[in-house]
Amino acid sequence: MMPLYAVLLLAAGTYAYRAAGPLLGHRLALSDRLRHLLAVAAAVLLVALVATGALTQGHGFAGWARPAGVLVAGVLAWRRAPFPAVVVAGAAATAVLRLCGVG
């Protein structure tokens, strides 16, 4: 469950990131190193979410159907398929595998 205080915490922190530049921009500059690290950190977290979301359920393995569907979506995204096709194909592949009895 996501309580309201958690939503507000995330919103306040995110707003602070956004407002810092416009409010302090003329007094302070970020180093290239820090900019690079922040951009890489975002990619690291997103890929970790993809991996754990695709492979795990609770503390265990999610079964083969879900990662297979995500793999299909990944290949389509890599081939620059339109976004809706990527998502629908991923879900459909997982659904079809489950229909065939794959966990």
Q: For the segment 15-74, give every residue that binds another protein (CB under 8 A).
A: 15, 17-23, 25-26, 28-30, 32-60, 62, 65-66, 69-70, 73-74
Instruction: Report the nearest approach of another protein to the CB of residue 12 (Å).
Output: 9
Which residues lie closer than 8 Å to 85 by C-beta, 6 or more apart? 76
How many Cα atoms within 13 Å fall on the side-chain side of residue 89?
Answer: 13
Q: Which neighbouring-strand residues pair with 56?
A: 61
Q: Which of 64, 84, 100, 101 binds another protein (CB under 8 A)?
A: 84
Q: Which of 64, 87, 100, 101 binds another protein (CB under 8 A)?
A: 87
Does 102 help bind another protein (rule: CB under 8 A)? Answer: no
Kindly state the number of chain residues that form the binding site for another protein, as judged by CB under 8 A. Answer: 79
Token code pair at residue 100: 């065939």
- Cα angle 54, 60, 63 (rounded to 5 degrees) comes to 50
